[in-house]
A and B are shown apart, each in its own frame.
Chain A
């Protein structure tokens, strides 16, 4: 008898949770089914499944709108920025967290101050710098800028993870005659794999999604990244809704796959640090 009021009391709570779930999933559902519809079909049949699962819109987005090239560019920039950020940040974090230098604190502080810096406000001077270095309209330029922006967060994460490893670890290796580079890459780095995955995940998301810097630095269609291309499509193919929906689906596919595989790590990473942006 007591169980019923208790279940009933929980009903408003469940309703709220289910409502927000619907608010999240319904737009995404509409996005997915609309990819397979023509514009006329989108108007006639808003929420239903498409008449056929034709890939016309995907093909049109990939070839006619040239999203394929944008996709490859985004992969290169994201991959390059993730690798460069991980290597240089792990290298910097190793002495800062494990040597007694006397200036560890100041140097760490200099890096950490970058986590909060509003770098967009420096975009005028950054533009001049990139132009002088010949890095406008260049994927390498984007990789360098993104790495620079993500280094503070990565150094912070690596230093945190490395500082709690036992000091016997590198001392023993040093006794055996291992060089410092070998200690870092073959002994310390394999022990901070969770840090590597946190840095890789959040750098990849931030870089894949960014729109501001390609907007400023990329003018040539051949070097545009996916978010920049999407922002153009929305206006350009305004009447061809199926194509726009399909290009949105293509651009979120890599993130969706990564999210399904790594949802737990992402949840825990954000819950503990809030370092998603």
Chain B
């Protein structure tokens, strides 16, 4: 009886203390993350004048988003984000798997290489973008090296050329984050029992065969994590574009992304007059939110099903 009363009094204290302890974190999180996000989703269904919300507008912001003159920008930016995602999957996560496999096969030096490969990932994308902008500029060091090696002649204008600029940005992003797949894949490979590799070796599998047929199916959780992270990061891409190509995604919007477009609509650098269109910006934000949420859920389920249980 006394024990039970003591227990329930403890539980009452705990309920009270729990609220007290959780409130500071919850208040900051709710005020500066949840509230603005919910208000943004809600606001995308209203007419805006400047930063003032006027009457309910139904889906009119969304229909405006898909037609002239916004439609072209939207599809352009969407396509660049999709291309960016596949580019990262191939260059960063594909090459990263290969590098991780090479490190996994070598007992020595793995920690050193991992540390070097991951270092750019702790740098600000602003620093990375600024550094590569200087290196890739006409008259920059890359031009000098390519000319010296006889691979290129004259001025290097890859960032000013609308056919190559996006590819260059994707490559810089891959350079920035290559360490991430390397670290996640090596951690995943080390969790696989060495007996499995031993058995495959006895069956006569070579190193390449072992990577594709034995390791990769067992690495599905890591592949899933990286695909989802790359998807989220790609569709939030802003910093590298802003620093290297400006907020318009120069030249002529060829490196524009959904978030740079969103930024221009929301903070006023879109079109000749540079005025904001909050309704359109919020509609784009809601669309992007849907793309990210649905995409992430689909990917998590897709990779969950393909996880091999041993």
List residues of chain A with CB under 8 Å of any chain B CB: 10, 13, 16-17, 20-21, 23-25, 27-28, 30-31, 43, 46-47, 84, 87-89, 91-92, 94-96, 99-101, 107, 110-111, 114, 116-129, 144-145, 147-149, 151-152, 155, 174, 180, 184, 205, 208-212, 215-216, 226-227, 230-231, 233-234, 241, 244-245, 248, 251-252, 255, 258-259, 263-264, 266-267, 270-272, 274, 276-277
Contacts and interface: CB of A to CB of B under 8 A. Distances in A.
Contacts of A227: 124, 126-127
Contacts, number: 243
Contacts of B111: 264, 267
Interface string B44-66: 00000001000000000000000
Contacts of B235: 118
28 contacts: A13-B106, A17-B103, A21-B117, A43-B139, A84-B28, A87-B24, A95-B17, A100-B11, A111-B25, A114-B29, A116-B292, A118-B235, A119-B33, A122-B40, A124-B43, A124-B51, A125-B39, A127-B51, A129-B35, A145-B32, A147-B28, A211-B124, A211-B242, A231-B243, A271-B186, A271-B187, A274-B225, A274-B229
A16 to B, nearest CB: 6
B107 to A, nearest CB: 12
B282 A124 contact: yes
A172 to B, nearest CB: 14
A10 B4 CA distance: 69
Contacts of A84: 28
Instruction: Name the residue among A208, A230, A264 with the largest chain B CB count within 10 angstroms.
Output: A230
B273 interface: no
Interface residues of B, number: 90
B125 A119 contact: no
Interface of B: 10-11, 13-15, 17-18, 21-22, 24-26, 28-29, 31-37, 39-40, 43, 51, 95, 98-99, 102-103, 105-106, 111, 113-127, 130-135, 139, 141, 144-145, 175, 178-180, 183-184, 186-187, 225-226, 229, 232-233, 235-236, 238-239, 242-243, 259, 262, 266-267, 278, 281-282, 285-286, 288-289, 292, 296
Contacts of A241: 134
A274 B180 contact: yes
B28 A266 contact: no
A152 B29 contact: yes
Contacts of B29: 111, 114, 148, 151-152
Contact of B119 (A30, A259, A271): A259
B236 to A, nearest CB: 6
A230 B217 CA distance: 43
A27 B130 CA distance: 12
A121 B116 contact: no
B225 A124 contact: no
A17 B25 contact: no
B52 to A, nearest CB: 10
A231 B281 contact: no
Contacts of A123: 36, 266
A79 to B, nearest CB: 17
B15 A30 contact: no
Contacts of B262: 120-121
Chain B: interface secondary structure?
helix
A118 B284 CA distance: 13
Instruction: Name the residue among A23, A122, A180, A245 with the largest chain B CB count within 10 angstroms.
Output: A122
A153 to B, nearest CB: 11
Nearest to A113: B34
A277 B113 CA distance: 21
Given A116-B296, A152-B29, A274-B184, A125 B127 contact: no
A118 B32 CA distance: 13
B102 A17 contact: yes
Nearest to B115: A263
B124 A209 contact: yes
Given A96-B18, A118-B288, A209-B124, 15 more contacts: A20-B95, A24-B117, A46-B145, A92-B26, A107-B26, A114-B29, A117-B37, A120-B259, A125-B35, A125-B40, A127-B51, A180-B17, A215-B242, A216-B267, A274-B225
B88 to A, nearest CB: 13
A121 B288 contact: yes
Given A121-B289, A244-B134, A95 B14 contact: yes
Contacts of A114: 29, 33-34
A200 to B, nearest CB: 14
B22 A91 contact: yes
